[in-house]
Amino acid sequence: MLEVTKLECRRGDRRLFSDLDFALGAGTLLHVRGRNGSGKTTLLRTLCGLFTPDAGEIRWQGESIRRLGEDYRRDLLYFGHLNGIKGDLTGIENLAVAATLDGDDVHRPAIWEALERIGLAGFEDLPTRMLSQGQKKRVALARLILTRSRLWVLDEPFTALDVDAVTLLQSLISTHVDAGGLAVLTTHQEVPLTSGQVERLDLGN
Amino acid sequence: MLRVFWCILTRDLTLALRRRTDVLTTLFFFVIVVSLFPLGVGTEHQVLRILGPGVVWVAALLASMLALERLFAADYDDGTLEQMLLTAQPLALLVLAKIAAHWLLTGLPLVLIAPLVGMQYHLSETAIGVMMLSLLLGTPVLSLIGAIGAALTLGLRGGGILLSLLILPLYIPVLVYGAGAVEVSVIDLSDTMPYLTLLGAFLMVALIFAPVASAAALRISIE
């Protein structure tokens, strides 16, 4: 479903990676590994279309993602270093905006349920700037429960999370992969994934 | 489509209402700049009546300039802009909603407070009416053109100064015709028509091109 051919990315004069090829089928998890500065985040942003590669092509279901544009972005969920939530809005409001933008017809009860499941019961109505780092991250990760996207691109999703949240996130990812979804993630900690096909990609060698 | 536009508009308005100081600073800046001139050049009615339209319009340009920096910066800092770029919605539509919210918060208050500042310059009632009308047509153009500059300078160091250098020259036509409309209204009210029609034309052109241009600029800036 997701194919990458001869991908090359530079930052300034430095070449991060070149001739990168891989193809991921449905129900696969790609674990991207590498030292700090080896280009993991750049690769993930390139996969989302936020960064233009210097060479090579990324195809989604056989079509170049440049050409697919909005159709590709409908299938994509990106979770970056920034949580992408507004500090002055409550968790509920943040998720409602995100759901509307994703084009999902999500109702309030579903959002309340998602926040409860992610462990934020009782914090739904607080502006998110009052929450701790980990809790903010949980608000952002609640989108994973609500979304219908098939490709998840997660950049360091486990940092700042406590043990319970890590377990929950792992189960979310494996359910997604089990259901035929794709996930690309970077993490420094080893994540035991119970099911699905796990591929590994090492950058910076 | 409309639902998404409405969603971003209400989101930005809610955010501004929870952080009112940002809106008020623009308005007070406008009022203070306009009020400084009568203090500086004296209270001669004749002089003030000639200076009035130009001063009000220049102050409006500067005030809208002041607020521009925040148009995309806050969303850029917390990553929500990145998420907007990755949604399946047309980015130009989202940008237009953000510009609309920005105008409601920074442009419309200037229009509404214009009679009050006009009084300091002994402008006649008709002149004040024309001034409000020209501001109503002109300030959205300022927000629209400004959005392109704000998108281009996003995330740059010292972007604020660069933004003014980039955008202020583009504001000149709006300034000329906006202030011109008020000046000619003193002679004959019907003379203002061409000025206001031209401002309306600027608005139409900006409304069509600015959101698309800003969206393209945002995609470049976010890389």
pLDDT at B34 > cutoff 80: yes
Which of A101, A128, A130 should we substitute to test contact with B (largest number of B Cβ atoms within 10 Å)? A101
Q: A192: pLDDT confidence band, cut at 50, 70 and 90? A: low
| From B18, B88, B94, residue closest to A70, measured CB to CB | B88
pLDDT for A71-123, tens place per residue? 888 888 998 888 888 888 888 888 888 888 887 777 888 888 888 888 888 88
Q: Which residue has the higher pLDDT, B43 or B199?
A: B199
Q: How far is A118 from chain B (nearest CA, A)?
A: 20
- Output the CA–CA distances (angstroms, integers) from residue B180 to A144, B55, B56, B109, in the order listed: 55, 12, 12, 21
Q: Which residue has the higher pLDDT, A12 or A193?
A: A12
Q: Phi and psi at residue A28, in whole multiples of 5°?
A: -120, 145
Contact A95, A138 (CB under 8 A): no
Round to whole Å and give the CA distance between A79 and A143: 9
Residue B78 with chain A: CB contacts under 8 Å:
82-87
Q: How far is B6 from chain A (nearest CA, A)?
A: 10
- Rounded to a whole number of angstroms, the distance between the first and last alpha carbons of chain A is 26
Q: 3-state DSSP call for residue A57? A: strand
For the range A165-172, what are the long-range contacts, defined as Cβ-Cβ under 8 Å and sequence gap of 24 or more? A165/A118, A165/A119, A165/A134, A165/A137, A165/A138, A165/A141, A168/A117, A168/A118, A168/A119, A169/A141, A169/A144, A170/A194, A172/A141, A172/A144, A172/A145
Number of Cβ within a 10 Å radius of residue B31: 18
B80/A103 CB distance under 8 A? no
Q: A195: pLDDT confidence band, cut at 50, 70 and 90? A: low
Contact A100, B3 (CB under 8 A): yes
Residue B14 with chain A: CB contacts under 8 Å:
88-89, 93
**Which residues neighbour B78 within 8 Å (Cβ) at sequence distance 6 or greater?**
A82, A83, A84, A85, A86, A87
| From A82, A84, A88, residue closest to B18, measured CB to CB | A88
pTM across the whole model:
0.91
Contact A1, A59 (CB under 8 A): no
Round to whole Å and give the CA distance between B91 and B1: 11
Round to whole Å and give the CA distance between B96 and B216: 13
pLDDT for A139-169, tens place per residue? 888 888 888 888 999 988 888 888 888 888 8
Q: B88: pLDDT confidence band, cut at 50, 70 and 90? A: confident
The domain limits of chain A are 1-75+150-205, 85-148
Round to whole Å and give the CA distance between B132 and B141: 15
Residue B79 with chain A: CB contacts under 8 Å:
80-85
Round to whole Å and give the CA distance between B161 and B69: 10
pLDDT for B154-174, tens place per residue? 888 877 888 889 899 999 999
pLDDT at A32 > cutoff 70: yes
Residue A85 with chain B: CB contacts under 8 Å:
78-80
Q: Which residue has the tokens 């993490």?
A: A187
Q: How far is A92 from chain B (nearest CA, A)?
A: 12
Residue A100 contacts B, CB cutoff 8 Å: yes
Q: Sign of torsion, CA B86 B90 B92 B96?
A: negative
B18/A127 CB distance under 8 A? yes
B79/A50 CB distance under 8 A? no
| From A48, A71, A86, residue closest to B86, measured CB to CB | A48
Round to whole Å and give the CA distance between B36 and B68: 23
Residue A48 with chain B: CB contacts under 8 Å:
86
Q: B33: pLDDT confidence band, cut at 50, 70 and 90? A: very high
Question: What is the pLDDT at residue B28?
Answer: 92
Round to whole Å and give the CA distance between A30 and B201: 53
Round to whole Å and give the CA distance between B174 and B142: 8
B89/A74 CB distance under 8 A? no
Question: What is the pLDDT at residue A194?
Answer: 60
pLDDT at B205 > cutoff 90: yes
Q: Hey, what CATH class is A1-75+150-205 in?
A: alpha beta
| From B3, B7, B223, residue closest to A52, measured CB to CB | B223
pLDDT at A205 > cutoff 70: no
Round to whole Å and give the CA distance between A85 and A93: 10
- Output the CA–CA distances (angstroms, integers) from residue A4 to A24, A78, A139, B128, in the order listed: 9, 17, 31, 62
Q: B209: pLDDT confidence band, cut at 50, 70 and 90? A: very high
Amino acid at A46: T
Residue A12 contacts B, CB cutoff 8 Å: no
For Cα atoms A62, A65, A70, give the angle at the middle one, nearest 5 degrees.
115
Residue B15 contacts A, CB cutoff 8 Å: yes
B89/A101 CB distance under 8 A? yes
Predicted-complex ipTM score? 0.87
Which of A82, A90, A94 should we substitute to test contact with B (largest number of B Cβ atoms within 10 Å)? A82
A82/B15 CB distance under 8 A? no
